Amino acid sequence: MANIPPKGGRKHPSQEMIPIDTSNILFICGGAFDGLEKIISQRTNEKQLGFGGEISSNVSKRSSAELLKKLEPDDLRSYGFIPEFIGRLPVLVALESLSEDALVRILKEPKNAPLKQYKKLFALEDIDLEFTDDAVRTIAERAAKLNTGARGLRTILERLMLDLQYEIPNKSSNVASLTVTKGAVEGTEKPLVETGDMAHGAE
């Protein structure tokens, strides 16, 4: 049983609590747990590639994934979790890092995919927003290098689209479409703006 404050927040001795039976509730605790690989490496006496030396990110990710598969409860204790909490987590599973292909799918396929959200925002201004396949792939590549999972996609997109959200709709009522290219993502060129009679780079 767990006693929960009616309105959330901190518990107070004189406050009435709502008892909740947690016996049939599945709790899933997830996170990046940065540095956990080092603890596993020390325990198993394995030298992990990527720490303390210059090496490709792909090799480092593969090495980290292999180490995380050897996770034990004692590793979480060394990481800083109290034994009472660890005892309530009977199943420990290491998830694979998101690949670039998976990040591309996250960008495009879900109902509320990031690219779909931006397209709807620009559609409110009667502007057709498009991303080339190369642009989408480049966004995924850059997000993968951030090593923050799908959250990196939002970071890249916000940097890319923030100014455009304000500049393009106010620039001219004649803007019909906006195409984000690979060069636009890399910062080497402006997105392509198409008006009623021609296409040119956004200024």
The residue among 155, 156, 202, 153 whose CA lies nearest residue 176 is: 202
Residue 93 lies in a domain: no
Domains of the chain: total:
2
- Strand bridging mode 18-20 / 2-4: antiparallel
Q: Rounded to 5 degrees, what are φ and ψ at 3?
A: -100, 120
Statement to judge: residues 24 and 72 lie in one domain: yes
Residues 133, 172 within the same domain = yes
For residues 43-76, one letter each, b for 16 or more C-beta atoms within 10 angstroms of the residue's C-beta and e for the rest, the string is eeeeebebeeeeeeeeebbebbeebbeebeeebb
Q: What is the pTM of this model?
A: 0.68
Give the range of the structural domain holding residue 66, as residue numbers without chain letter: 2-86
Query: Burial of 111 by CB count in 10 Å (0-12 exposed, 13-18 middle, 19+ buried)?
Result: exposed
Domain boundary among 86, 109, 127: 86
Domain end position, chosen among 31, 56, 86: 86
Instruction: Measure the CA–CA gap between 1 and 21, rounded to whole angstroms.
Output: 5
Query: How confident is the prediction for the chain on average, in pLDDT?
Result: 85
Shared domain for 135 and 159, answered yes or no, is yes
Nearest to 134 by CA among 189, 183, 192: 183
What pLDDT score does 177 carry? 92
Q: Tokens in use for 195? A: 């008006």
**Statement to judge: residues 15 and 67 lie in one domain:** yes
Query: Cα–Cα distance between 105 and 143 in angstroms, integer?
Result: 13
Residues 75 and 107 in one domain: no
Last residue of a domain, one of 56, 86, 116: 86
pLDDT of 144 above 50: yes
pLDDT for res 53: 46
Same domain, residue pair 171 and 105:
yes
Residue with the bigger pLDDT between 14 and 56: it is: 14
Question: Is residue 91 in some structural domain?
Answer: no
Amino acid 149: pLDDT:
84
Q: Are 154 and 105 in a shared domain? A: yes
Q: Are residues 107 and 54 in the same domain?
A: no
Work out the pLDDT band at 95, boundaries 50, 70, 90.
Answer: confident
Please report which confidence band the pLDDT of residue 167 belongs to, taking 50, 70 and 90 as the band edges. confident
pLDDT band per the 50, 70, 90 thresholds, residue 25:
very high
Domain containing 144 — which CATH number? 1.10.8.60
SS3 for the chain is CEEECCCCCCCCCCCCCEEECCCCCCCCCCCCCCCHHHHHHHHHCCCCCCCCCCCCHHHHHHHHHHHHCCCCHHHHHHHCCCHHHHCCCCCCCCCCCCCHHHHHHHHHCCCCCHHHHHHHHHHCCCCEEEECHHHHHHHHHHHHHHCCCCHHHHHHHHHHHHHHHHHHHHHCCCCCEEEECHHHHHCCCCCEEECCCCEEECC
